[in-house]
Chains A and B, each alone.
Chain A
């Protein structure tokens, strides 16, 4: 009986310390964005080089989230048919699927990545297959430059 009580007390103490955090309305990953000014995603994507590696804040609705590792989110631009990819290294932040459709505020840096030709071919091939179209590798003219946002802090509004 005494042993059971000790074991239960230990278990309760451990679980109590783990569940100590209170539920907040917003979900925060990393540092809560502190910058005042918000850069429009359309402005960012119009002149990406101007914003490269500068700490800025953007805002938008999450349109999609990586369901495998929660390692990326797509944020709707203020302009139609445009979105910004928010990408973290695996495990740095894990975006929940429940973020889809919610407003997000993100602080971080825009980074440039050049996708090598062979990877572009793979991407386009997969895209064509999904759309049921034929794909000609010769249509890929060279490496592709993409811009993505590497966040230091994200707030997902509830």
Chain B
């Protein structure tokens, strides 16, 4: 009963999505309030129904109901409860259902909190959300139905891919999808504006919270995915320029550009057409990512089962939505009024520069990701475009952008003064120089790169702090006054500073790890001690351990310095019995911001084991920087200017409400 109720709810959600696609749009065209008003309740009901379907699927996973083909293919009765739950979206069908759940969630949010939007805009936005929802629900129901049944039902499932049996599965996909799909709201706003043929500064403010939220989640999703790959794959790398990673990175770069161009639009009513295009492109890149990952074009842990009909279907969705929205853009962009002109040396000028760098970087990543695929499709040659390509293209593009980041917030709108901004940044520059010198003299005299990287990171972090210090008049006003001013600053100023600081911290983590990490590959027998940069790693021995659905050989190590124990590490080679699939469980010891990473290789004939050990200084900053960026976005989301009230018929009272 519960399975079929979920299935029926999903079908019903599809029917509602069809209504949502047509009725509010028609209402907006005709100018009929009652038709437009259908959008809100239908979006809320659609979310509730997809929620029921998702809950039903989760329940079948928890109960190990193998009469559902999806559960049989991806679960096992002995799997720990957490992975039974997360296994719901650890497969193609379930993950698409999560995708649609989040899509309808955002639709419901627009319906619930969109009262400050003009009725036609709101109706159009909900209709476009309805199109996306209907397309993906149709995709699920026709090619990837999670509720397909088996009769008679088998008694044991085939288990979840062991690499996915990890806490990461509970966090990474939901965050990533919240990001990917969150940009669908920006897309819907852009298409709705194009349908209306009208876009102005107010539009930018209405879109802003959605962009911020999507960007925040996508940042978290990418950072979490990177950390997961780092500890699960056992290679100790944090970014592989793998096409699947690029697929999530491209919307992030474009979304970051959108985040900044929307500020210009909001403040200066400029860059309107460009911002609309960016909103379309960002979600298009999200869709492209979904296509690359789900169609089987790429083989990776994300691909799950591949089926050509699915690829064709997603490709069709891709063509219709990207092609359709870009055609609409080409057709209507001319009718949008262009924004004002502005001085190149100004806040808006700096933001345009940011957009230039970010979109070029996006294009580079896109070329590097798609070129091998296209080449293989056309000529059959397999080439791999890896780190060298991106280091040569993406790196030089990002470097000037990172150097310029601290200037942006210090420049005034309309007419900025670079000289004055540079003067204010003198302290930050001095600090960065000092950091560089110290790195070069004390830590590493050989690689200039290390010193430059650390200096750049210090420059960004100190630059962000300079902005806060300037705005609170720290140093020029009495401390009490500037503290009060600091507390009174708009939240968005803190958001900016935190996000830019986060970029600096991530840069520091990457620079330190790349420049200072040390790798040791040795054969160790129980009792052996390896020297790791002046500290010792003692191999205590191995023991077999039996987990709920796996067996593992676990090796124990003790990390010590001068006889003082710094910590214990266990690293394991695991075998998941149901799929007979081995995995490596790296042992990681976090000391401050740095980590010791121990990965087990094969056993040697003389009773030893190949042990790979990395010492990674400041490596955690790579992801902590991402976390700081997320916090920045969250703080910015609470800025009061994003809480514009709705006008009442007696608009005067609403003004008071808006200012709270």
Say whether A associates with B. no
Binding site for A on B (CB under 8 A): none
